[in-house]
Amino acid sequence: MAELRLFGRSAAPGVAKGVVAVLDAARRPRREAAGTQAEEASALQLALSQALAEVEALAGRATGEAADMLGFQVAMLSDEELVRPALEGVGAGESAAAAWEAAMEVEIAGYRDARDDHFSARTADLEDIRDRVLGHLEPGGTGPVIPDGSVVVAADLPISRFLAIDWARGGAILLTQGSSTSHVAMLARARGVPMVVGLVGAANAMAGREALVDAATGEVVLDPTEATLAIFAAKADREMTAAAASATFRLRPAVTRDGTRIALNLNASSAHELEGLDPAICDGIGLVRTEILFHGPGALPDENAQYEAYRRIVAWADGRPVTIRTLDAGGDKPIPGVTVDGESNPFLGLRGIRLSLRHPALFQIQLRALARAAAHGDVRIMLPMVTVPAELEAGRKLLGEALASLARDNLPAGHPKLGIMIEVPAAAIAVDHFDADFFSIGSNDLTQYVTAAGRDIGTVADLADPMNPAVLRLIASVARHGRETGREVSLCGDAGGDVRVIGALLRAGLRSLSVAPAYVGAAKQAIAAIDLRDATP
Amino acid sequence: MKDHTATEHATDRTELINAVGLHARPSVKLTQLAKTFACRVEIALSADGPWVDAKSPVKVMRVKAPRGAVLHVRTSGPGAAAAADALIALVRGGFGEETNQPADLRHG
């Protein structure tokens, strides 16, 4: 069989090889051969008590959010009201499984259709309860068994299923739906389980096939060839080495061999991503992407929802600086109702600060929320895609208005520093024209704009190289300007976490990098191996 | 708002000020507290009902009470007043979770 490549989005990095186990393949509750009503009723009660015992055991071992979610399932399973409608169905002559499934469908529909996200998000818990009880009603009695080390494929994965698998034996999670901000994704990152969400492909057709997973890139290979297996084996080796290095280097400060201290910050999208991480692994948060807040179902986030999200990140950072980027929608990050559809070239269109200045009311809400979060710590506001100084000044004026309106409302607020991303070549070349409090180089966009090559266009992706001397010269010139004028300069693109590029970035004069949490150990290790006294480029 | 018409009955009401409304974790806390009282404890989103048993997490979750809703509490039987007070205190305290600003300060 020819190998097949599938792609999804990374939710937790890592590589894995294993046989695919499909979790939610079509279930067939035995509708036929019902016993007497009394037998069916007692079978249902028995299945419920077995399910309850299992979830109680899982809850006993869980901590934090997972324990809360399992506690909810325990409460529901302990409530006689849950089984009452199903027992009525049994009383009307249905089998235990059919009655349970029908009754739970009604219960679940009430959650699925809820207008409030917090309730609709519980749909997965109710489905999990339903399936666990059904598993005990089926012949054999234990429900779907997932061998350890499997590549688990499902639409979504309930926390209780995640916790029931021994991930120490390897394996990975591939979800056709799912979200990188779900609780399961958070647990997967904390436990080092590779996880991909939004995988495009027919889950049922994957059952039993061998799969290679590179969860950092979201790539999955089914029925791999010998050549692909060899490439993955090498990758897995490197990951193992990097993981071992992480353990050694993560909690140490980032210092080059010649003793130069480098600030190493984290990139993050939400407090969820940071849960379970020790803030001591970093010097601060170098980039908070706020787009994720605007992607939930339903309305755009209000000021309080944003404030709460930012405040949680600031609380996690525990006094360390937190640089939050204002909405960077457009380009490859559309938001319905805000970004413009059908631009002939979205990367050269209405995105980043250009979009925010077109939606001043929306921008004002975000600036107010950011200023309120700044009352709790060292928050810095960063404007993306700035091209001309007038955009920075317009942002500064709106921030001033936000602070004035908060003062009128008697709401506590801080005065955050205001900086800009350097990702448009015009801003990089004429950086001395921008009176920003700090600069942060967005190496992904800067590289693709300087080389006129998109990273997402496979045929030209190798041209989009941050090691291109033109890119490095621009970085060096921005770093020099920062040194000369006393403004902080950092870099927050993927290049900062790329061990092959870090040396060139430090030699270009950068002393502050921001990387994904998973790359902290490897980046610090790479930094420790660099001697800035060497003249080698 | 408080109406202790007799020692055997009590009604009260308060706004759900916690961030997520009467969602999974708050519902579990509410039912656990209600179960510590021998009296009948019911909640509703309106003084006219429908009233649901506050000791049943399945029923409480069916109410799907969002943040900002006004929660009515009705108790009857031994310890009714104490039960109503305890439930109201739990809700007013935001279920011991983080609360947001009151709804009238929201923007957008």
End-to-end CA distance of chain A: 46
Question: Domain for residue A245, yes or no?
Answer: no
The whole-number pLDDT of residue B99 equals: 45
Per the structure, how many domains does chain A have? 3
Question: Domain for residue A398, yes or no?
Answer: yes
- Tell which of B22, B25, B61, B99 to mutate to test the A interface (max A CBs under 10 Å): B61
- In this structure, chain B runs to a length of 108
**Catalytic annotation, pick one of A183, A272, A376, A481:** A183
Closest C-alpha to A293, from A303, A281, A283, A301: A301
Domain that holds residue A326: 250-528
**Residue A414, CA distances (Å) to A158, A403, A404, A417, A510 in order:** 40, 8, 11, 10, 28
Q: How far apart are CA A449 and CA A469, in angstroms?
A: 14
**Cβ contact, residue pair B58, A107, below 8 Å:** yes
- Please tell me whether residue A484 adopts helix, strand or coil conformation: helix
DSSP letter at B54? T
Neighboring chain A residues of B101 at a CB cutoff of 8 Å: 304, 411
Name the E strands within A304-346.
322-325
- In this structure, chain A runs to a length of 537
Residues A259 and A288 both lie in one domain:
yes
Q: Strands A172-175 and A195-197, how do they pair?
A: parallel
**Cβ contact, residue pair B24, A68, below 8 Å:** yes
The whole-number pLDDT of residue A14 equals: 86
- Please tell me whether residue A12 adopts helix, strand or coil conformation: strand
**Cβ contact, residue pair A76, B57, below 8 Å:** yes
pLDDT over 50 (residue B108): no
The whole-number pLDDT of residue B105 equals: 33
The whole-number pLDDT of residue A411 equals: 95
Token readout for B30 is 């509410």
Residues A274 and A308 both lie in one domain:
yes
Token readout for A460 is 């030209």
The whole-number pLDDT of residue A69 equals: 80
The pLDDT profile of chain A, 537 residues, written as one tens digit per residue, is 578 888 888 888 888 999 998 886 445 555 555 688 888 899 899 999 999 998 888 887 776 667 778 889 999 999 999 999 999 999 988 889 889 999 999 999 888 887 776 777 788 788 889 988 988 887 654 556 778 889 999 888 877 788 778 888 889 999 987 776 666 887 787 678 999 988 877 666 788 899 999 988 888 999 998 888 888 888 888 877 777 766 788 889 999 999 999 999 999 887 877 877 889 999 999 999 998 788 655 567 889 989 999 999 999 999 999 999 999 988 766 777 788 877 888 889 999 999 999 999 999 999 999 999 999 999 999 999 999 999 999 999 999 999 999 999 999 999 999 999 999 999 999 999 999 999 999 999 999 999 999 876 767 878 989 999 999 999 999 999 999 999 999 999 889 988 889 999 999 999 999 998 878 888 999 999 999 998 654
- Please tell me whether residue A184 adopts helix, strand or coil conformation: helix
B25 touching A, CB under 8 A? yes
**Catalytic annotation, pick one of B4, B9, B23, B72:** B23
Per the structure, how many domains does chain B have? 1
Residues A77 and A220 both lie in one domain:
no
Query: Which uninterrupted H or E stretch holds B40?
Result: strand B40-44
CATH number at residue A44: 1.10.274.10
- Please tell me whether residue A514 adopts helix, strand or coil conformation: strand
* Average pLDDT value for chain A: 87
Closest C-alpha to A203, from A218, A220, A185, A191: A220
Looking at A98, A118, A137, the residue that finishes a domain is: A137
A372 touching B, CB under 8 A? no
The chain B residue lying nearest A299, using CA atoms, is B108
DSSP letter at A301? P
Cis peptide before B50 (omega within 30 of 0): yes
Question: Domain for residue A242, yes or no?
Answer: no
Contact A365, B107 (CB under 8 A): yes
Query: Which uninterrupted H or E stretch holds B32?
Result: helix B24-35
Looking at A211, A237, A263, the residue that finishes a domain is: A237
Residues A413 and A344 both lie in one domain:
yes
pLDDT over 70 (residue B104): no
The whole-number pLDDT of residue A34 equals: 66
Report the complex ipTM.
0.83
The whole-number pLDDT of residue A249 equals: 87
* Rg of chain B (C-alpha set): 13
Q: How far apart are CA A481 and CA A488, in angstroms?
A: 10
B104 touching A, CB under 8 A? no
pLDDT tens per residue across span B37-73: 999 999 999 888 899 999 999 999 998 888 888 899 9
Residues A475 and A363 both lie in one domain:
yes
Question: Domain for residue B11, yes or no?
Answer: yes
- Please tell me whether residue B22 adopts helix, strand or coil conformation: coil
**Cβ contact, residue pair A72, B31, below 8 Å:** no
Widest pairwise Cα distance in chain B: 46
CATH number at residue B26: 3.30.1340.10
Q: How far apart are CA A220 and CA A212, in angstroms?
A: 6
**Cβ contact, residue pair A79, B101, below 8 Å:** no
A136 touching B, CB under 8 A? no
**Catalytic annotation, pick one of A272, A282, A481, A492:** A492
Residue B23 among the catalytic residues: yes
pLDDT over 90 (residue B9): no
Contact B79, B41 (CB under 8 A): no
Tally of CB atoms within 10 A around B65: 24
Residues A209 and A316 both lie in one domain:
no
Question: Domain for residue A323, yes or no?
Answer: yes
Looking at A137, A168, A196, the residue that finishes a domain is: A137
Domain that holds residue B47: 3-97
